[in-house]
Amino acid sequence: MNPDIVKERQNATFNVEKLTNILDGSPEKTRRRREIESMVLNDPDFQEQDPNFLSRSERYDQAVRKSAQMILKLREFGISDPDEIYYYKNCVHPDRPEPLDLHLGMFLPTLLNQATPEQMDRFFTPAWNLQIIGTYAQTEMGHGWWRCSQRASCSATTPTVLPALTSEDWRPQATFDPATQEFVLNSPTISSIKWWPGGLGKTSNHAIVLAQLHTQGNCHGLHAFIVPIRDMDTHVPLPGIVVGDIGPKFGFSEVDNGFLKLENVRIPLDNMLMKYAKVEPDGTYVKPPSAKLTYGTMVFIRSMIVGQSALALAKSCTIAIRYSAVRHQSELKPGEPEPQILNFQTQQHKLFPVLATAYAFTFVGQYMKQTYNRISGDIHEGDYSGLPELHALSAGLKAFTTWAANGAIEVCRMSCGGHGYSRSSALPDIYVEFTPTCTYEGENTVMMLQTARYLLKSYSQARGGQQLQGSVSYLSRLQPQPVSAGVPPLNIQDLASLVQVYQLRAANLVELAATSIQQELQLRHSQEDAWNSSAIDLVRASDAGLLSVPQALQVSAHIKELLIQLRPNAVALVDAFDLNDKKLNSVLGRYDGNVYEHLFEWARHSPLNASEVPPALTIIVIIKHNQLIGSFFPRSTSLSTST
């Protein structure tokens, strides 16, 4: 154990285990989490080669092998609780999305929420047993954005009169054929090819495909269809299915994100998910109670992503803070030993806010999950009243927490200096695997605009005298104040006072956006144009804060005091996240703090070190021997064969 890190733990002023229990929810939950963790981390079937030293295809193969083992073990140990599956999966594939994520995270939940009992028997049971492997295909090459309700222009015709049609006409179409009781699915244009779905490229044999429903000559907007894409015995693509991998990406190397072109693919009538919307055998369309129910799985994953932001931050600041406790640099005072870099105020100012945010997001993630479970329970009972708030909250928190975490991971990486740039630190991987959360499940700006839409509606209800409930109740209670009204009193030591100032600021920003829309409306006469011209106000928190200059200085001084208070407990606070070394997989973030010897050991495994003179370098040796520098290109081949 590194002596610095030992001292850090001795200096802590609280009981780490108790805090871990609070983060987990209870001592029993901590015990169970550790039990699951040891099932995976001590299981030789999950041994792996360090993916940093593998090619993409090797990484995919290794991930598939581990995922298959995972499914067998989940069955063997009878683990079926979604939280426990999720936890088990995160230990099997720490920090790395894997080929079955979409099957577990979106295909199964979509069936649970949108399938009829008959469809549950036909699809969910085999999918649970991994005979059916599914993905969720919504995004297309040309559009990540969808409308779930019918538009006047939505047309079933082929593209002959282009100007009269909108982009929605060129989306994938599912046209009902009553003669055969089948839907015929087509991707009418290149841009309508499904693009991005995880596990689609090579792994899945079924896809939930989102397409425009056409029946009896009418278009009814976005609906979900279960489309078999590969033969269940041979895994070869079925007729009319053009499918494959979209190629290497920034990260997600283990995942076969794929493309799918549909060419007159026929599926039976009862392959449309019909818990809510229905098509009768004669082609009659029965409307769902809310068109937005089609988007339910996205709301589920958005809610989950809030907790994922917290986990990514917890990992990043554990690595950076432990490393900062064992790394020494520079002399603070001439002649004295080099201090731990964690003693530099600037280092604390980089890392302690990340640590605080990791805690805050952990609790926000728990709140989001409870809210999701409560409101989706009501929806199952037929009460849809909570849906708008659930949508606004999950979209807004998904965007807010992922943006914040995305930036903070990079702060942690840079705070580790050069070693943060090495893949051995794990920080580059955490970043590349996390950063697409800002894009997928709804691009963040687009999600912020959805939340703003809800806020503006609530604002106008509040101005109309309605008493609002839930997360927007502050709009009824607070009267937005013009900047000229001065600054509100603030006690920065008092949480209630801080919350009040935040609420007032939020109310002011909503009012600002509403005013902008009113002004733009007078100029542009179209609601949509006025909305777009106010989009910056809608999304961005204004730079005008509500604090006076003396108050802002007071905050700054208080932050410095807090840094000093936190310093003795910094390592203990990250220890409380209880991230097992194998799960963290970071040379810099090791629990024992023995960084340097392991950094050296890790580097020696680099494939470039497999031989002292890599084969490619033999050409240099040849060139040297023949003294041909300057003219070796035309002659090098014959020289290399002759020597």
Ligand X SMILES: CCCCC/C=C\C/C=C\C/C=C\C/C=C\C/C=C\CC/C=C/C(=O)SCCNC(=O)CCNC(=O)[C@H](O)C(C)(C)COP(=O)(O)OP(=O)(O)OC[C@H]1O[C@@H](n2cnc3c(N)ncnc32)[C@H](O)[C@@H]1OP(=O)(O)O
Catalytic residue positions, numbered: 441
* 137 binding partner (options ligand FAD, ligand X, none; Cβ < 5 to 8 Å by kind): ligand FAD
Whole-number Å distance between alpha carbons of 428 and 511: 40
Could you tell me the two tokens for 172? Answer: 């994938």
Single-letter amino acid, residue 228: P
DSSP alpha helix (H) spans, 586-631: 595-604, 618-626
Among ligand FAD, ligand X, none, what does residue 295 contact (CB within 5–8 Å per kind)? ligand X
DSSP 238: P
Cα–Cα distances (Å) from 108 to 65, 297, 388, 617, in that order, read: 21, 10, 24, 51
Interface region with ligand FAD, contact rule CB under 6 A, candidates 124-132, 317-325, 404-412, 441-449: 441-449
Work out whether 579 is an interface residue with ligand X (CB under 6 A): no
Report the distance separating Cα 335 and Cα 293, nearest Å.
68
Question: According to the binding rule CB under 6 A, does residue 527 interact with ligand FAD?
Answer: no
Let me know: does 228 contact 206? Beta carbons within 8 Å.
yes
Q: Nearer Cβ to ligand X, position 51 or 442?
A: 442
**Binding residue (CB under 6 A) for ligand FAD from 99, 221, 365, 442:** 442
**Residue among 105 and 480 whose Cβ is closer to ligand FAD:** 105
Task: Answer for the pair 225, 208: CB distance below 8 angstroms, yes or no.
Answer: yes
Count of beta carbons in the 10 Å neighbourhood of residue 233: 7
Give the binding range for ligand X (CB under 6 A) out of 97-105, 401-409, 559-567, 619-627. 97-105
Whole-angstrom distance, CA of residue 4 vs CA of residue 593:
8
State how far the Cα of 399 lies from the Cα of 94, in Å rounded to an integer: 23
456 counts as binding ligand X under rule CB under 6 A? no
Any binding-site annotation on 198?
yes
**Is there binding between residue 82 and ligand X (CB under 6 A)?**
yes
* Residue number with CB closer to ligand X (82 or 545): 82
CA 588/CA 323 separation, integer angstroms: 5
Classified as helix, coil or strand, 601 is helix
Of 74-113, binders to ligand FAD (CB under 6 A) are 102
Selected from 123, 146, 176, 252, the binder of ligand FAD by CB under 6 A is 252
Site for ligand X in 114-133 (CB under 6 A): none
- Among 2, 62, 86, 343, the residue binding ligand X under the rule CB under 6 A is 86
Decide which of ligand X, ligand FAD, none touches 257; Cβ closer than 5 to 8 Å per partner kind: ligand FAD
User: How far is Cα 45 from Cα 73, in angstroms, rounded to an integer?
Assistant: 10
By CB under 6 A, residue 452 contacts ligand X: no
For 182, residues 6+ apart whose C-beta sits below 8 A from its C-beta are 176, 266, 267, 268, 269
- Letters for 137-156 (x = contact with ligand FAD by CB under 6 A, - = none) are xxx---xxx-----------
Alpha helix (H) residue ranges in 16-124: 16-24, 27-41, 56-76, 82-92, 101-102, 108-114, 117-119
Residues 298, 341, 507, 587: which binds ligand X (CB under 6 A)? Answer: 298
The DSSP element (H or E) to which 210 belongs, if any, is strand 206-215
CB closer to ligand X out of 97 and 420:
97
Shortest Cβ 390–ligand X spacing (Å): 7
Q: Specify whether the CB–CB gap between 205 and 232 falls below 8 A.
A: yes
The verdict on 399 binding ligand X (CB under 6 A) reads: no
If one asks whether residue 104 binds ligand X (CB under 6 A), the answer comes out as yes
**Four-residue CA torsion sign, 7, 12, 17, 19:** negative
| Radius of gyration in angstroms for the set of CA atoms belonging to the chain, rounded to a whole number | 28
- Please identify the residue of the shown chain whose CB is closest to the bound ligand X: 105
Cα→Cα distances 258→9, 170, 255, Å = 47, 20, 9
Using rule CB under 6 A, residue 112 touches ligand X? yes
Q: Which of 52, 166, 445, 626 binds ligand FAD (CB under 6 A)?
A: 445
Site size toward ligand FAD, by CB under 6 A: 22
CA-to-CA distance for 214 and 232, rounded, in angstroms? 28
Q: Of 184, 206, 305, which is closest to residue 258 (Cα–Cα)?
A: 206
User: Does residue 404 sit in helix, strand or coil?
Assistant: helix
382 annotated to bind ligand: no
Q: Based on CB atoms, which residue is closest to ligand X, 198 or 258?
A: 198
Which residue's CB comes closest to ligand FAD? 144
Binding residues for FAD: 139, 198
Can you give the binding site for ligand FAD, defined by CB under 6 A?
102, 136-139, 143-145, 196-198, 252, 257, 436, 439-440, 442-443, 445-446, 449, 535
Can you give the binding site for ligand X, defined by CB under 6 A?
82, 85-86, 89, 97, 101-102, 104-106, 108-109, 112, 136, 138-139, 144-149, 198, 292, 295, 298-299, 301, 387-388, 391, 440-442, 446, 450, 453-454, 457
